[in-house]
Structure 1
Amino acid sequence: MTIVELAEHAPALSVPLPDAAGQALAASRILDTATPDPYRPGHWTLRAGSKVGAVTLGVPGGEPVTVRITPKVPIARLFFLIGYSLNPHGWRDGQVELGERHDLLPALAHAVERQVDRALRQGLLQGYRAVEDSSLVVRGRIRETEQIRRRFGATLPVEIAYDEFTTDIAENRILRAAVERLLRLPGVPQNVRRRLLHQRSRLADVTPLVRGQAIPSWHPTRLNSRYHQALHLARAVLDGSSPEHFAGGLRIDGFLFNMNKLFEDFVTLALREAYRATDLTCRLQDPHHLDEASLIRMRPDLVLYGPAGTPQAVADAKYKAEKPDGYPDADLYQMLAYCTALGLPEGHLVYAKGNAPHTAHQVRQAGIVIHQHALDLDRSPAELLGEVRSLARQMAADRAV
């Protein structure tokens, strides 16, 4: 098996790859750059962007190729961002055991297996599932319309509907799907793989999800509370997962987390939580128009509204600054458009710290001030949330301007 190791937003590497595998990577758009190396035949120039994780390509007539993309942030911090974005109320740092894992895939597999084991220690959760069936015995209620449509007046069999108390419920199906997803990926340590196989055997009577089928929904309740953390991690595996498709004639299987989306979700949800006990409200991905004719649409990541329902502040999250010497100018133009359309004197761009510290720009002839903030993802979760609360206070102070 060919293994390609890349780092998020690192310089491009020239890697020996079969043309079929390189073409599949280029078609999948997993990487920012995947082109043939003009100076080295049989090599491809690969550069990772903001997607991190691992994918495997099955090459017809050749050995599989695995691409692993390592995040820049520490693994523990990445799991905090994932967990907080999924459940800002119930997630706490340290609840997910990562073991002595420093790579994303082994850490994720270990964490999922530990949480699934914890959820299933008291046995599989049971619940009611709506069932529609044809039967020789009446159970539940008769579906009269279906009886007439399918049976043309015949007495038997009977079209019935009933609620069945079973372990074959959404929560268990999600856990089984996540376990099976991880078992298909190379790079999972053997000791973790053995434990995952044990968890799959415990879920053997649960109906597996069909590939391409929508993930069933579940709702947190007191009855399924022991499943909550396992389900959040399982959804992280399945939602961020993988392109499972045929790109360039090859199958690609794995999981990826988009750091741009993950950072945006964290910032906007953390800001919304900071305003929860105030008279201010937040709208995420709030739709607006730049022009009077409502032809030019725009969707700021977060718009803060006052008690009267008027915009008070606007913020946009940007994970990666593209310029090596500072923030990209295009972000400033975008925020200027938001402030102009919303009638706000100040706007806030929020970056992951790396290129430049906080700065502010006053726009000539307009008087609009655009702030550029930098959150330090290397800080502890408590300190990171403290930075967000400080930003929230500054945005709320814009009302007095």
Structure 2
Amino acid sequence: MKSIKVIIVGGGIGGLALAVALRERGISSEVFERAGDFGNTGSGIELTPNGVKSVDCISPRLGEEVRASGWSSERHCQDMPIMSWDGKLLKSREVANFPAKWGAPMIGIRRADLHRILAEAVQRPGRAEVTVHHRAKVCEAYNTGDTATVLLSDGRKATGDLVVGADGVRSTLRTLVAGDVQPRYLGFTSIRGISKRPAQHGDGFVFVGPGGHFFAEAFSDTRLFWTATVNAPEHSWPRKPMEQARADLLRLWGDWSPPLAETVESCAVEDMVVTDVHDCPPLKRWHTGRLVLLGDAAHPIGPVLGQGANMALEDVASLASLLAEHHVPAALRQYGRVRSQRANKIVQHSRLIARLGHTTNPLVGRVRDALIKSMKRREDTYRDKELFNYNP
């Protein structure tokens, strides 16, 4: 099979991970990232077993570096509690046994650390060349025969054997591949931060309550990252100064069980990020010709299942392996078919869980809590069996 070159639009986690995966397989790539730097990318990432196995598939060395920089579930002294807003235990996540049960641990890692690891990895010598361009905004892409081309806003042009859109929720490539499919607001905002580990439940915890959800996960001996999702009109929270956002979160949920307030209070405003949450209707196609989508460009997903980055890493492992084994058209057809089935199912499930999890109806809230309790002794919940058991 002749050597190929891949043009990657987007230098986030999915784009850089793909560049690493391709180089490991002897495939060169060129990455175009519109930002000059990545700034505060906010909070952290829970790499669940499916994501960790995908990282290992991308590059064994990358897997070792991720484990060294994050906090593995094997180090958890206690199970992770899932609680009602007033601190009543609904269910515990038995995270310490994940390697034995699912073939890989859960790893909490700062998003900035994961991005740094990937940025350093693409700079190392390897089996193929990787070139990364910053301040390079792609505004157009098209196919001509066996080549694909991107046009940049400054007039530059780059060509390769295919173009991968890893350019996020507001993807330029999505419109070119799948038509005018706009992100849809899910009805809630995500407030994220990094804090000291609280005295109680320092390894991590989850709260569910009226109109929101709070998740915290350790990433070091002393600190954890957290995400609060709060029902709100679109754009209302992102417009707030960070000091006000933190104060308003404490005002809304300050009387929830103590670890939550303690966690939010210890977060510096420079370690906070606020964004509205969107997903997309399932796409009818993930590729057209030699243009293909990956990660949030193909399947933006709400945070309630914690699968955004994990699904992107699954995409990367799948696409890179297929490109190493098949000619480009066949690889893209198989990638689109296999990955869309899994991703679309998980996006739809996440949307359903988000509606249930963010209810303000007391009766529905009691039903939600009862459902969580009912899973207390079940071995194969949807989250576990369908998500964690995945092998790239």
What TM-score comes out, normalization by structure 1 length? 0.18
Q: Which has the larger radius of gyration?
A: 1
Higher relative contact order (CA 8 A, sep 6+): 2
What TM-score comes out, normalization by structure 2 length? 0.19
